[in-house]
Chain A
Amino acid sequence: MSGYPISIQESIKKLEQTRSFRLTQEIPRLSFSEREQLLKECHPDYRPDSIKEVRVGPNKGERLTNKLADLLEAKSSLKPDKIDLQFIDHEVDILVIGGGGAGVSAALIAQERGASVLLATKLRIGDSNTIMAEGGIAAATQCNDTPERHFLDTIGGGRFKNKKDLVSALVHDAPLMVEWLKDLGCMFDTHDNGDFVVSFAGGQQRRRVHSCKDTSGLEFMRVIRDELYNRKIPVLEYCPAIELLLDEEGKSAGAILKNIETGEHLIVKAKAVILATGGIGRLHPCDFPTTNHYGATADGLVIAYRAGANLLHMDHIQFHPTGAMWPEQMLGQLITEACRGNGSHLVNINGDRFINELETRDTVSSAILREVKDRGNGIPTPTGKEGIWLDTPLINIRGDAGKLDRMFAGIVHRFNEYGIDVRKEPIMIFPTQHYQNGGVEIDSDARTSVAGIYAAGECSGGVQGINRLGGNSLLDIFVFGHRSANNACEYVKKVKVGKLSLRHITEYNRQLDEVGINNGLTSPILLPDYTREAVKIKSYN
């Protein structure tokens, strides 16, 4: 029995009929210039209403993704004159903000190196994009692979906009990070002889993604979180940072946290701050659904920006080609690239392929949008949307009958809940917002442009250029988690923090007034608001 509505089943038959032909079909890769052409025609970044100018702050005059620009032009949610900075609740060397992979790895390393550390996070520790990562971590660990190859793939994937020193750091540290995770007890997929299993990701010329089934991020996150507990590193959950603190010289001095369960504010004095607040998905850039966790609201960008740190590449958002389109309950949820990496095809309503599935994400997403919107080759759903097939049964056909169960247990399980057997039937997909690409600009020591403020992971910018390759983010968070901690530890040995100040907030608000901006918003928003209009109206707020 099919888990799909009858109206869709016809096109599944077509897909089955073309399977044997498709298995022999080679679709050549696009050249770099063909790719640029396709992106400019079809990628959501190039829609005229996707970006907008920000009129204050370090990136003044630049055009950024519009939902972020709005939050940068919003007033601080804090009333600076109401806060008494005399009452310090916590005083530490290093405050880590964000409890995903970047934050937790930074906290582990900083404590190992002797710093006093406090980790503050918005929800529970681990409620993050990291825990959702499926495919795995990229590293050139195989004998047919090298860091140079990884460098070239990453920088071309990023459309040559990446900061080269950051990419050099990334590919250099990659195999070290895989070993670090293995030593902590992460359960990587292995061959019978113990060697790591590696898979393809789009745009990577070698198999180099190391996985833990299709829940790699869950495995990494639960292991490093366990280690954080073992080392008794202090953690404040449900306490997001709502502004950073500077001293009179404009150096980092800590942050103000807000307990979102009680409303109480906490003042943390710290010599250095490591920002690791993750991504932007819950702002729904370009109004797409998202794969991101509930707390991905770009808070780190907003507070760092007010403190004077500049952003990089925030005009380019990553849309992942394969977000779930059916069942509706799963709309926008990620179907890992490893499905394509292990041989699934993308197929239109006529049963045809239309792009080499292992092109970079920006390319594949654009090709899907072209196929559906421009060429009318999408498969209509009963609720009036359109999608494309991801031919998952091919994974078992090309591999062996148990491969989906072995490597993609999570997907098999999640679709099974809705009566869809992905071993026998394809998955309907459509692009979904996935990754932030840019962020707070860092250098290869993870320093931002503000002394004492470091950034690591998805909230940072420069590593991935304007399009990230699969597997490179789980890598990024550990590489720069480590680097930020190492460098912050050196920094705190030397620095003296002066008197705490929120003058930058007052000043920022003043600049907004000066330009005459009053968009009625306050930021950071901390959590998205999914309340229905009908309910909102009746709450008379």
Chain B
Amino acid sequence: MEEKLVDINVMGKLYQVPEGLTIMTAMEWIGYKFTRGCGCRGGFCGACGTFYRLPGNYKLQVGLACSTKIIPSMYLTQIPYFPSQKALYDLDEIENPVKALLELYPEIKKCVGCGACVKACPQNLRPIDYIAAALRGDWKEAAELSFDCIMCGLCASRCTGELVPYNIALFVRRYFSKSVRPKPKHIIDRNKEIREGMFDEAVKALASLSEEELKKKYDLREFEKL
């Protein structure tokens, strides 16, 4: 079967590629060999953020090169890296988180609520909202709203207030998960037992069984119900 070729424009240069590829596989089809702009190839790592436009449309669009299908006539560029700043902190030393947030990331107050970050997010997140939640001190809301962030940097590249929303969000999530949420009692208890060596004998006894004996035990396991 003849492959149908469509035009795409990569960083200003026109190519014809088979339709149906992703931006990443289309670039490889052309002959690009990635060192930058490609990491997991599955939408998790944020290495492959891409801006593009379509002819006759002023709107700037975004996608992950590894998981966005090419659109005929699109013209694109990858943003494999965008300069950002990350505050350094020791989570154990944070007593007043609201104060810490404002000290670590004072620019958070410069968020003008423009929403440019929302349009830039390939994960369909709304940095504007999680930043607002963080400013209100609503840690849970900010943590949950930002959870799907893959730290691709595209929001920071568009931010009017020059924030780096994803680093702010990471601080918030870490503080929330460590210090706001309680530590489950079952894990505290279990680790006390582990440290006291409560299971050591039993594991040792199992480990000393012959393969035949282990197989027997293995086939006799009782499974918790689904």
- A residues at B contact (CB < 8 Å): 29, 31-32, 123-124, 126-128, 131-132, 140-144, 146-149, 151-153, 155-156, 160, 164-165, 167-168, 171-172, 175-176, 178-179, 182-188, 190, 194-196, 200, 205-207, 212-213, 215, 217-219, 222-223, 226, 229-230, 232, 238, 260-261, 291, 293-295, 328-330, 333-334, 343, 358, 409-410, 413-414, 417-418, 527, 529-532, 535, 539
CB within 8 A of B21: which of A171, A186, A232, A329? A329
| Apart from A294-B38, A329-B22, A413-B148: 11 A-B pairs, beta carbons within 8 A | A126-B45, A128-B40, A132-B45, A141-B187, A147-B203, A179-B183, A230-B90, A293-B41, A413-B124, A414-B43, A527-B33
Q: Once the chains are docked, how many angstroms separate the CA of A164 from the CA of B210?
A: 11
Q: Is the CB of A155 within 8 A of B214?
A: yes
CB within 8 A of A527: which of B20, B22, B30, B35? B35
Q: Is the CB of B187 within 8 A of A196?
A: yes
Q: Once the chains are docked, how many angstroms separate the CA of A260 from the CA of B223?
A: 49
Q: Specify which chain A residues have a CB less than 8 angstroms from the CB of B28 in the assembled complex.
A: 530-532
Q: Once the chains are docked, how many angstroms separate the CA of A295 from the CA of B28?
A: 16
Q: Specify which chain A residues have a CB less than 8 angstroms from the CB of B44 in the assembled complex.
A: 131-132, 215, 217-218, 410
Min CB distance B151 to A, Å, is: 6
CB within 8 A of A151: which of B190, B207, B223? B207
- B residues at A contact (CB < 8 Å): 20-22, 25, 28-31, 33-36, 38-45, 47, 67-69, 86, 88-91, 123-124, 143, 147-148, 150-151, 170, 173-179, 181-188, 190-191, 194, 199-200, 202-204, 206-207, 211, 214-215, 217-219, 221-224, 226
User: Which residue of chain B has its CB nearest to the CB of A188?
Assistant: B177
**4 tightest Cβ-Cβ pairs between the two chains A and B:** A185-B174, A127-B39, A156-B218, A185-B178
Q: Is the CB of B186 within 8 A of A195?
A: yes
Q: Is the CB of A141 within 8 A of B226?
A: no
Q: Is the CB of B224 within 8 A of A176?
A: no
Q: Is the CB of A152 within 8 A of B206?
A: yes
User: Which residue of chain A has its CB nearest to the CB of B28?
Assistant: A530
Q: Is the CB of A156 within 8 A of B170?
A: no
Q: Once the chains are docked, how many angstroms separate the CA of A55 from the CA of B124?
A: 52
Q: Specify which chain A residues have a CB less than 8 angstroms from the CB of B182 in the assembled complex.
A: 194
Min CB distance A363 to B, Å, is: 13
Min CB distance B39 to A, Å, is: 4
Q: Is the CB of B176 within 8 A of A187?
A: yes
Q: Is the CB of A172 within 8 A of B200?
A: yes
Q: Is the CB of A329 within 8 A of B33?
A: no
Q: Specify which chain A residues have a CB less than 8 angstroms from the CB of B38 in the assembled complex.
A: 123, 294
Q: Is the CB of B174 within 8 A of A223?
A: yes
Q: Once the chains are docked, how many angstroms separate the CA of A413 from the CA of B217?
A: 42
Q: Is the CB of A195 within 8 A of B184?
A: yes
Q: Once the chains are docked, how many angstroms separate the CA of A205 from the CA of B45?
A: 32
Q: Once the chains are docked, how many angstroms separate the CA of A124 from the CA of B39?
A: 8
User: Which residue of chain B has its CB nearest to the CB of A126?
Assistant: B45
Q: Once the chains are docked, how many angstroms separate the CA of A232 from the CA of B218?
A: 46
Q: Specify which chain A residues have a CB less than 8 angstroms from the CB of B207 in the assembled complex.
A: 151, 164-165, 167-168
Min CB distance A22 to B, Å, is: 13
Q: Is the CB of B184 within 8 A of A333?
A: no
Known: A185-B175, A223-B174. A127 touches B186 (CB 8 A): no
User: Which of A168, A175, A206, A535 has most B Cβ within 10 Å?
Assistant: A175
Q: Is the CB of A172 within 8 A of B190?
A: no
CB within 8 A of B39: which of A123, A149, A217, A417? A123
Q: Specify which chain A residues have a CB less than 8 angstroms from the CB of B219 in the assembled complex.
A: 31-32
Q: Is the CB of B215 within 8 A of A182?
A: no
Q: Is the CB of B199 within 8 A of A148?
A: yes
Q: Specify which chain B residues have a CB less than 8 angstroms from the CB of A156 in the assembled complex.
A: 214-215, 218
Q: Specify which chain A residues have a CB less than 8 angstroms from the CB of B41 in the assembled complex.
A: 293-294
Q: Is the CB of B223 within 8 A of A205?
A: yes
CB within 8 A of B190: which of A140, A155, A207? A140
User: Which residue of chain A has its CB nearest to the CB of B189?
Assistant: A143
Min CB distance B214 to A, Å, is: 6
Q: Once the chains are docked, how many angstroms separate the CA of A31 from the CA of B221?
A: 11
Known: A131-B40, A195-B184, A293-B41. A179 touches B191 (CB 8 A): yes
Q: Is the CB of A172 within 8 A of B33?
A: no
Q: Once the chains are docked, how many angstroms separate the CA of A103 from the CA of B181?
A: 28
Known: A164-B207, A530-B28. A261 touches B35 (CB 8 A): yes
Q: Is the CB of A151 within 8 A of B35?
A: no
Q: Specify which chain A residues have a CB less than 8 angstroms from the CB of B175 in the assembled complex.
A: 185
Q: Is the CB of B40 within 8 A of A132?
A: yes
User: Which residue of chain A has its CB nearest to the CB of B150?
Assistant: A218
CB within 8 A of A409: which of B148, B185, B215? B148
Q: Specify which chain B residues have a CB less than 8 angstroms from the CB of A218 in the assembled complex.
A: 44-45, 150
Known: A126-B45, A205-B221, A215-B148. A293 touches B39 (CB 8 A): yes
Known: A194-B184, A413-B123. A175 touches B42 (CB 8 A): no
Q: Specify which chain A residues have a CB less than 8 angstroms from the CB of B69 in the assembled complex.
A: 329, 417-418
